């Protein structure tokens, strides 16, 4: 019996080590960096301290990109949810023998680099690209209006890049739904739309929650889309953090902003999961 209990702990060791090396130590390092005295620099070194005022400073200075990140990520997540639900529903219930092929197509973009795919959107949305041309011909856009370097372009990029993260968990939970439940709803006087709202949608909530989290969290921290498809007016918090680390060399501010972003996202996720009523995910 005692040996059996010890075996359990031994089996936890690899996972524990993995967590320590790849999460606890880096996170501790980030946390420590966020509390450095910002008077130091990469060249002169930093004084290790407990300067909690760093958080107030970065919040005051960078609240705009932080808020913008959350807004863009929120809008992109909503659009992904609508598009992704339609797509996942179609694949799960209507695709028949095309199901596997369609799923492969959802994942297919991953075979190309994230950067290259985002760069090609730059060409697609370019001022002399066919989309802008077409919209101008239809007078839906003025002669001097642009798509590139606008929030539309950045959000479109986010939607495009994170859509598969929405579709896959949605598909997984829709596909599990027993078709007979939908039949039963119809048998019990629910029209197809009522049946969807009362049976299919509630049963797919785990997929909705997982999909929105998998989309929102990375989208809120993303900086590639804003960098390639936006301008300085669309800078997201990821761009700021990147600048602080690589260009300005202000490690303390960069660390504080990173921790702040993390805290905000975790807080939002907690509230969201509480509201969505799927605590079992935590």
Partner 1 sequence: MSLAAERATDPSNPPGGSGRNLRLTALTKEFSTFTAVRSLDLEIPAGTFFALLGPSGCGKTTTLRMVAGLDLPTSGTIHLGDDEITYAKPYRRPVNTVFQNYALFPHLDIHENVAFGLRRRKVKDVDKQVQEMLELVELESQAKKKPPQMSGGQQQRVALARALINRPEVLLLDEPLGALDLKLRRGMQIEIKRIQTEVGLTFVHVTHDQEEAMTMADTIAVMNAGVIEQMGSPTELYENPRTTFVANFLGQSNLIPGTVSSADGDVVRVDMHGTQVSIPADRAHVTSGNGWVGIRPEKVLVAAEGEPLDAPGNHMSGGVVTDVSFVGVSTQYLVRMPWGQELMAFEQNTGRRAFLTAGTKVDVSWRPEFAFLLPASQDVNAGAIEEA
List residues near partner 1 by CB under 8 A: 178, 180-181, 183-191, 194-195, 198-199, 202-203
Contact 215, 165 (CB under 8 A): yes
Q: Closer to partner 1 at the Cβ: 26 or 202?
A: 202
Shortest Å, Cβ 275 to partner 1: 16
Given the complex with partner 1, which of 74 and 206 has the nearer CB atom? 206
CA nearest neighbour of 209 among 253, 157, 172, 160: 172
Closest to partner 1 by CB, 125 or 170: 170
Nearer to partner 1, 103 or 182 (CB): 182
Partners of 41 in beta bridges: 45
Q: Are 52 and 274 in contact (CB under 8 A)?
A: no
The distance of Cα 252 from the centroid of its chain, to the nearest Å, equals 25
Taking the complex as a whole, the smallest distance from the CB of residue 193 to partner 1 amounts, in Å, to 11
Q: Where are the alpha helices (DSSP H) in the chain?
A: 2-19, 25-34, 53-89, 99-107, 114-124, 130-137, 151-175, 179-187, 192-195, 201-203, 205-221, 224-229, 237-242, 251-276
Which residues contact residue 61 at a Cβ distance below 8 angstroms, ignoring those fewer than 6 apart?
A: 253
Residue 192 Cβ, how far from partner 1 at the closest point, in Å? 8
- From first CA to last CA, the distance across the chain in angstroms is 31
CB of 186 to partner 1, least distance (A): 4
Q: How far is the CB of 272 from partner 1 (least distance, A)?
A: 19
Its sign, for the CA torsion 239, 242, 243, 244, is positive
Contact between residue 253 and residue 57 where contact means Cβ atoms under 8 Å apart: yes
The residue among 94 and 194 lying less far from partner 1, judged by its C-beta, is 194
Q: Which is nearer to partner 1, 9 or 189 (CB)?
A: 189
Beta carbon of residue 190, minimum distance to partner 1 (angstroms, whole number) = 5
CB of 177 to partner 1, least distance (A): 10
Closest CB to partner 1 among 4 and 179?
179
Residue pair 167/103 in contact (Cβ under 8 Å)? The answer is no
């Amino acid at each position: 019996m005692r040996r059996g209990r010890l075996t359990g702990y031994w089996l936890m060791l690899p996972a524990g080590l993995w967590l320590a090396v790849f999460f606890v130590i880096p996170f501790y390092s980030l946390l420590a960096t966020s509390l450095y005295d910002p008077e130091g620099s990469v060249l002169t070194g930093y004084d290790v301290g407990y300067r909690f005022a760093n958080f107030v400073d970065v919040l005051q200075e960078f609240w705009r990109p932080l808020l913008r990140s959350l807004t863009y990520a929120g809008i992109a997540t909503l659009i992904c949810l609508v598009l992704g639900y339609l797509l996942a529903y179609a694949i799960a219930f209507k695709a028949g023998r095309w199901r596997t092929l369609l799923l492969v197509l959802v994942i297919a973009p991953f075979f190309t680099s994230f950067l290259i795919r985002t760069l090609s959107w730059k060409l697609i949305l370019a001022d002399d690209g066919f989309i802008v041309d077409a919209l101008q011909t239809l007078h839906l856009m003025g002669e001097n209006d642009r798509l590139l370097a606008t929030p539309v372009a950045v959000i479109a990029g986010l939607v495009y890049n994170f859509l598969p993260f929405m579709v896959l968990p949605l598909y997984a939970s829709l596909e599990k739904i027993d078709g007979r439940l939908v039949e039963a709803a119809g048998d019990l006087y629910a029209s197809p739309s009522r049946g969807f709202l009362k049976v299919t949608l509630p049963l797919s909530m785990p997929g909705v929650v997982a999909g929105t989290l998998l989309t929102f969290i990375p989208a809120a921290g993303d900086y590639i889309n804003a960098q390639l498809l936006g301008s300085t007016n669309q800078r997201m918090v990821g761009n700021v953090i990147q600048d602080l680390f690589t260009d300005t060399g202000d490690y303390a501010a960069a660390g504080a902003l990173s921790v702040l972003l993390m805290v905000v996202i975790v807080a939002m996720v907690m509230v969201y999961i509480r509201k969505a009523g799927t605590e079992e995910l935590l």
